[in-house]
Structure 1
Amino acid sequence: MASIRYRLLRNTISKRRFTTDPNFKLICGLEVHTQLCTRNKLFSLSTNDPFASISKPNFHTSYFDIAVPGTKPKLNYECVLYALKLASALNSDINLNSQFDRKHYFYGDQPQGYQITQHYSPIAKGGYLEMFGDIDRIKDEKKRINITQLQLEQDTGMSHYITGDNGAQSMIDLNRSNVPLIELVTEPDFSHVDQVRAFIKKYQDLVRQLKISTGDLETGSMRVDVNVSINDYPRIELKNLPNTSSIVNAIKFEYQRQLKIIKSGQADQFLKHQETRGWDGAKTVKLRSKETTIDYRYMPDPELRLITLDADVIENVRKILPESSDVKIRSFLAEPFNLTVKDAKMLSISSQLSKLYNNEEVKQFFIETFHEYQKNAPNEVRSKLVVSWVLHELLGNLNKLNIPLKEFLQILPPTKYSELIVLVDNGDITSSSGKLLLFHVLKEFKDSNYIKKTEDVDFQGLIRQFDIGALSDMDKSKLEKECKTIIAEVDNPKLIESIKAGKTKAVKYLVGQGMRKFQGRVKAQELQRVFQDILNINDK
Structure 2
Amino acid sequence: MLRFARCYSLARSKATQIQSTVFRPEYALKCGLEIHTQLNTKNKLFSQSTNSATPLLDVPNHHTSFYDVALPGTQPVLNLEAILFAMKLSLSLNSQVNMVSQFDRKHYFYGDQPQGYQITQHYRPFARGGKVNLSRELDGIDELSKDISIVQLQIEQDTGKSHYTDADKDVVTLVDLNRSNIPLIELVTNPDFSDIKQVKAFIKKYQNLVRHLHISSGDLETGAMRVDVNLSINGFARVELKNLPNTSSIINAIKYEYQRQVELISRGETDSLLEPETRGWTGSSTVKLRSKETTIDYRYMPDPELPYINLAPDVISGMAASMLELPDDIMRMLMQKPFQLSLKDAKILTYNGNQNDMYNHEALRSYYLETFHEFSKLIGKHSSAKLPTNWIIHEFLGDLNKLQVPLGKAQEILPPAVFAEFLRLLYTDTISPTSGKLLLFYILENFKQSGCQDSSIPDLPKLIKEFELHAITDVDSQELMTLCNDIIAQHTDDAFIRNLVSGKKKTSLKFLVGQGMRQSQGRIKASEFEKKFKEILNIQW
TM-score, L = length of structure 2? 0.89
How far residue 536 of structure 1 moved from its aligned partner, in angstroms, is 5.5
Please state whether the residue corresponding to 2:24 is helix, strand or coil. coil
Give how far 1:207 is off: 0.2
Q: Which moved more, 1:433-442 or 1:150-159?
A: 433-442
- The change in CA–CA distance for 1:158 and 1:352 in structure 2 (over 3 A counts) is closer
Query: How far does residue 121 in structure 1 lie from its aligned partner after superposition?
Result: 0.8
Residue 226 (structure 2) pairs with residue 226 (structure 1) = no
What amino acid maps onto 1:175 in structure 2? N
- Structure 1 residues 243 and 521: CA distance shift in structure 2, 3 A: same
Aligned to 1:452: 456
User: What is the Cα deviation at residue 376 of structure 1?
Assistant: 4.7
Secondary structure at the aligned position of 2:248 is classed as helix
Choose 102-111 or 519-528, whichever is displaced more.
519-528
Which of 439, 442, 445 in structure 1 is aligned with 2:441? 439
Cα–Cα, structure 1 residues 276 and 436, in superposed 2: closer, same or farther, change >3 Å?
A: same
Provide the rounded CA distance (Å) in 2 between the counterparts of 1:352 and 1:498.
Answer: 51
Aligned match for 1:266, one of 255, 260, 269? 269
Change (3 A) 1:78 1:7: farther
Paired residue for 2:366? 364
Find out whether 1:129 has 2:132 as its counterpart: yes
Counterpart of 2:85, as a letter, is Y
Contact kept, 8 Å, 1:13 with 1:249, in 2: the verdict is no
In 1, Cα distance between the equivalents of 2:532 and 2:241? 61
Matched, 1:322 2:302: no
1:104 alignment partner, one of 80, 104, 107: 107
CA contact (8 A) 2:151 2:188 kept: yes
Give the direction of change, closer, same or farther, for the CA distance of 1:230–1:525 in structure 2 (3 Å limit). Answer: farther
Contact 1:378–1:425, Cα closer than 8 Å, also in 2: no
Closer, same or farther in 2 for the Cα pair 1:101/1:352, shift >3 Å? closer
Preserved contact between residue 346 and residue 353 of structure 1 (Cα < 8 Å)? no
Q: d(CA) in 2 for partners of 1:504 and 1:347?
A: 37
SS in 1 for 2:523: coil
RMSD: 3.0
* Greater mean deviation of Cα atoms: 511-520 or 346-355: 346-355
Distance 1:354 1:55, change over 3 A: closer
- Superposed displacement of residue 418, structure 1: 1.7
SS of match in other structure, 1:206: helix
Q: After TM superposition, give the deviation of residue 275 of structure 1 in Å.
A: 0.8
Q: Where in structure 2 are the equivalents of 1:459-470 lying within 5 Å?
A: 459-470=460-471
| SS of aligned partner of 2:125 | coil
Q: Given that residues 79 and 180 in structure 1 are in contact (C-alpha distance below 8 angstroms), is that contact kept between their aligned partners in structure 2?
A: yes
2:429 is aligned to 427
Identify the residue that residue 253 of structure 1 maps to in structure 2: 256
Distance 1:513 1:233, change over 3 A: same
Partner Cα separation in structure 2 for residue 319 and residue 435 of structure 1:
43
User: Residues 471 and 114 of structure 1: is their aligned pair in 2 closer, same or farther, counting only changes over 3 Å?
Assistant: same
Letter in 2 for 1:144: D
CA 1:510 to 1:282, structure 2 compared with 1: closer, same or farther past 3 Å? farther
Deviates more, 1:71-80 or 1:220-229: 71-80
| More displaced 10-residue stretch of structure 1: 190-199 or 160-169 | 160-169
**Distance across 2 between alignment mates of 1:346 and 1:250:** 29
Q: Distance in 1 between matches of 2:164 and 2:477?
A: 72
Alignment of 1:71-150 (within 5 A): 71-150=74-153
Q: For 1:459-478, what per-residue CA distance to the aligned partner results, in whole angstroms no more than 9, with x for missing partners? A: 33332221122233423543
Q: d(CA) in 2 for partners of 1:281 and 1:538?
A: 61
Paired AA for residue 201 in structure 1: K
Moved more, 119-128 or 334-343: 334-343
Q: Give CA deviations for 1:287-334 in whole Å, capped at 9, x if unaligned.
A: 111111111111111111111111111112212211111111111111
SS at match of 2:265: helix
Cα separation, partners in 2 of 1:260 and 1:406, compared to 1, 3 Å: closer
CA distance in structure 2 between the partners assigned to 1:45 and 1:317 by the alignment: 25
Match runs of 1:192-341 below 5 Å: 192-267=195-270, 269-341=271-343
Mapped contact 1:6–1:282 kept (Cα < 8 A): no
Letter in 1 for 2:365: K
- 2:479 maps to which residue? 478
Q: How does 1:142-181 map to 2 (within 5 A)?
A: 142-163=145-166, 165-181=168-184
Q: Residues 50 and 175 of structure 1 are in contact (CA less than 8 Å); yes or no, is this contact kept in structure 2?
A: no
Which deviates the most, 80-89 or 49-58?
Answer: 49-58
Check conservation: 2:15, 2:284, Cα contact below 8 A.
Answer: no
In structure 2, relative to structure 1, the CA distance for the partners of 1:327 and 1:378 (3 Å cut) is closer
Q: Does the Cα contact within 8 Å between 2:348 and 2:361 map onto a contact in 1?
A: no
> What is the letter of the counterpart of residue 462 of structure 1?
L
Counterpart AA for 2:467: F
Distance 2:51 2:356 in 1: 24
Residue 442 of structure 1 deviates from its aligned partner by: 4.1
Q: Is the 8 A contact 1:353 1:359 kept in 2?
A: no
Name which of structure 1's ranges 476-485 and 269-278 shifts more when overlaid on structure 2.
Answer: 476-485
Mapped contact 1:84–1:94 kept (Cα < 8 A): yes
SS of the equivalent of 1:348 reads coil
Matching residue's letter, 2:163:
H
> Contact (CA 8 Å) 1:9, 1:281: kept in 2 or not?
no
Q: Secondary structure at the match of 1:212?
A: coil
Looking at structure 1, the residues matched to 136 and 217 of structure 2 have their Cα atoms a distance apart, in angstroms, of 26
Q: Relative to structure 1, is the Cα distance of residues 308 and 380 closer, same or farther in structure 2, using a 3 angstrom cutoff?
A: closer
SS of equivalent to 1:47 = coil
Could you tell me which residue of structure 1 aligns to residue 62 of structure 2?
A: 59
Q: Deviations over 1:77-131 (max 9, x none)?
A: 1111111111111111111111111111111211111111111111111111112
Residues 88-97 or 389-398, more deviating: 389-398
The Cα shift of 1:499 comes to 5.1
Deviation, 1:196, is 0.6
The Cα shift of 1:400 comes to 5.4
Match of 1:26 in 2: 29
**Greater mean deviation of Cα atoms: 301-310 or 408-417:** 408-417
2: CA distance between counterparts of 1:163 and 1:533? 80
* Paired residue type of 1:452: S
Distance 2:277 2:529 in 1: 66
Kept after mapping to 1: 8 A contact 2:34/2:187: yes
Work out the number of aligned pairs and report it: 534
TM value normalised by structure 1: 0.90
What runs of 5+ residues in structure 2 fail to find an aligned partner? none
Q: Which amino acid is 2:164 matched to?
A: Y
Q: Distance in 2 between matches of 1:35 and 1:133?
A: 29
Distance 1:508 1:163 in 2: 65
Q: Secondary structure at the match of 1:213?
A: coil
Instruction: Supply the AA of the counterpart residue of 1:326.
Output: D
Identical-pair percentage? 51
* One-letter amino acid matched to 2:113: Q
